[in-house]
Structure formats: structure tokens, C-alpha cells
Structure 1
């Protein structure tokens, strides 16, 4: 099995260096790397050139079209049997391709999605964001914590598909609005086997500040509605939970004006949830400070996601 690694890049040359360095250290060396510069104003070509002697690597530049179409471009240039997609802000553990190959062969996979994790050298804020994006206290059940791996919908920061699957589906049909989830649904609808491979995780080194994190979470909520345009009925109850969380908080706050028992109930529920986030994150990250930050990032992630979902539902 020969892998083709597709990496779209947009104005982030500092990130691609860490990702390429992690690919050099892979135990399994049977892969090529295709960098697609998606109309960047700040090029990463000088970074890519530094790895020419260490990796089988190609660099392409195209006008800005969005990461979904940039990935399509890369897959059309690929020579591998199986295409692996990473975002530029990922770092890949050295055992990634060895474990992925084992899973593909043993489970007869046509496509896969992998989870993300926080490395020990991440900043406290990055660890808090990772917790908020992966914990069962927030939307982690949708992002790599599902019980049945067959129900997983792959995310573009860490997913893969065979050459045959790409040729049959023609890849992504949207540039940047839930395009990875839409493709996951279409792959399964065509009868291919796409599953979560938990051991094929990446360290997702997000560069967000709190404001950009909220904007990203808001867009994720809206993207779920966009996916529903292509696949009506794809919004399930679990996807609506952040919206219910938002509405419940609004009701709790406003109930102080007309219903004290309701206020007490809401305050108790949210208080217990907040304690749960703090304790869980503190234990997971071995840091009370990260646990405290996680309270803010978890509230922000759920509220922004829920608002984005609600706004787009109302627009539709």
C-alpha cells in the first residue's frame, strides 16, 4: 500500500514545517506528500524546498478556492493507492501510517477518519481548546468519541479515502462548509466502508485565540445546516444539543425576572456541568489551570456552535 498525503495550505508557512518534520519521522515510509498552496499571500514553498531531500514531496500553487477544492486538486495529482488528508496545523505521531495500514487491511476499510489530541508541549490554552473540542462534556461525542466506529463522520483535518473512492465520488463538492462531513455521508451512501480509526490520531495544534475560536465554532454550527442541504435528515438530535444548551442558558438567565424555581434549577444544572468540565479537564491535563481555562472554552464552544446552528436553521 502506497499512501499519498494531501495537505492544503493557506498563509500558514510556520505550521507546515512542524507537520513535514513529523512526516520525516514516520516508521512507515511508503508515502508521497503533496502540498497545495491555496492562493496564499505568504508562500510556504521555501519550507517545502527544505524537505525535498527527506520526503517524496511535490508543491503546487493554485488560485484560492477553499480547502475542499484544494484537497481535490491534490488528489488528482496523487499517485498513491490511498489518500490521507491533513490540515497544516497538525503534527503526526511517528506510528501513524503503520497503525493506519494495519487498520485498513484488518478491517477492510475504504475510507477512515481519525481523532485529534493535544501533545504535551501544547500551550495551556491549546490544551483547553483541545479538551473543549474532544470531551464528552461538549461535542466530543461527534468528534472521535463515538461508541460505534462505523457511525463516525470523518473530519478533513485527519481523514483518508482510497483512490477508488475518490474516483467514484469525485471528492469534495463544497469548498469550506462542512465539506468533510458531506463527503463522509456520500461515501457511506455509495456502500463503502468508512470507520473511525482511534489509533490513527494527530496532534491538532490549533493557533486560535479565543475570538477566532468562537468564530470557528460558530461556523461549525452553521456548516452542519449546510450539510443538511445536500443530505436532508442528516441533522440528528446530538447535533442539536449545543443549540439546546444555548437556549437553556438564555431561559435560565431570563427566568430570574419571572420564575425563581426555574432559575434555581437552571443554576444547579449549569453549576454541576461547570464542575464536571473543570474536574474532568484538570485530571485529563494534570493541571488545575487548564481546567479553569476549559470552563471558558467549553462554554464558548457550545454557545457559539449552538448560535451558528440556530441562525442558519432560521435562515433556511
Structure 2
């Protein structure tokens, strides 16, 4: 038992997550524990608990082409639950296109014009933790948000180091060892969770955007998303209580696809604008039982 505990602790010290300022100590971004509504999705990415039986996530973190989620277990607030059904937004299109290595514009057009959001219904009601409320107003522009992620590391000078989003040796060994003993899929559970701040600079029908600033215009914990941060929630705090504003989805690419490095200063992150989907969320929950 002691050896197992040591093994898990070694995995937990794998310090990965989000792209940070180069001139701020990385440990200032680190969190000891995740918000209670934060849920690690199977394999990679994040969902959030928005109702006692429902998770909300970007649709692209649900890999139905190789994994059957229905009936499978998922940990919510440290307790195992099961997935009863998944409801994709009707305007979500699964990306199966080869976008080549040069012109980013076709990919940018595709990402801009689909709806990257899905709802996940749980078998059992979650009663030991509180869901996060959705920010439903249309006043996101200019808001300072706090966002979370466990993806690739890097800083504004280097950009993300994409390889760091992958599981390290110890985590891979642990996942291999536990396979015969659990139905739970591997997740980013043992990765270091970081948080960062940014200010929403642009909104449209589906998306909110913010730019990764440097120097005097940057916030003390300015940051942006890295590969593997998909679904990381962006929240505001209203009288100390979090409200969900967005879900990390993609980044704007302004260079040939085979040359672009995400996460450098002035890069733009794009989050699902959750308020735009509030009516659809309420409709799905009503039709499928809260």
C-alpha cells in the first residue's frame, strides 16, 4: 500500500498545465485542488458539472469514433458515476478533415462556423458537490475571467511545448497497471492543475476571445490555453460564487499550419460562449429529465 501511495504522489508531481507569463514564477499559477465542478473527461479535456445529473463540455473532447461512452464510469467530485447519454449540439460537426500543412483559413472558417458543445447526462444525481451556475447575460465583453487547465506547458516567449501535454512515463505505467482492475478510462487526473487570468476582448454569436498580453498590459497571472486544455472553464466570481462564462475550445492560427506555435504572446484563445447556448441547454435538460 505504501508503495502505491508513493507511486501516485510521483505522478501528481508531473507539473503541466496552461501557458504562462515568462516573467512570473510558474508555481504561482498552480492550484492544490480543482474547483468542485471541474470534471476530468476520459482521455483528455474537461467537463463541468452544471446540474445534479448533467455535465457540459466542448463536443470535440468526446471521442465517439473510438470509445463508447454510454454506460461507462466517470469520476465526479471524487465519486464514480456513469454516463447515461450524450447530447451533441445539432450544429456540431466532428472534424475528420485533412487540413494540410499550409493555409490555415479553411480550418479557421470551419472552427468559427460550428457549435462545439455537448451535454453529458449522468446515471446518478450528484449530491456531494455543487454545480456551477451559468453566466446567462450578454455582457461578457471586458470581463476578467479565471480559467483552468491541465494541458501543455510553455510561456509567452517559447509558446507551448506541445509534447508536454502527453502523459509521462510514470502515468503511462500506472494506467497500464490499473487496466485489469477498473473500467475507468485514463484521464488527466494526476496532472498539475493551473489557473490563469485574462480579459475578454471580443465576443460573437458562438465564441468569446482573449489575447495573451505581455508586459505592462498583462495581468499578474496572465495566461492562455495550451494543447490538452480543451474544456477548461473560464469563470467570473459574483459575490464569491463562480459563474461559467466559457469553455476552452481552440486557438486562432495566423501562420502556415506546419509552422504555427500556439501560446506565444499576442496569440488569441477562443472559448465557447456558454450564454449563447443557455436556451439549448435548458431545453435538453427539460426534455431529458433534470
Larger Rg: 1
Which protein has greater RCO, CA pairs closer than 8 Å, 6+ apart? 2
Instruction: Give me the TM-score of the superposition, normalised by structure 1.
Output: 0.27
Higher strand proportion (structure 1 or 2): 2
Higher helix proportion (structure 1 or 2): 1
Instruction: Give me the TM-score of the superposition, normalised by structure 2.
Output: 0.28
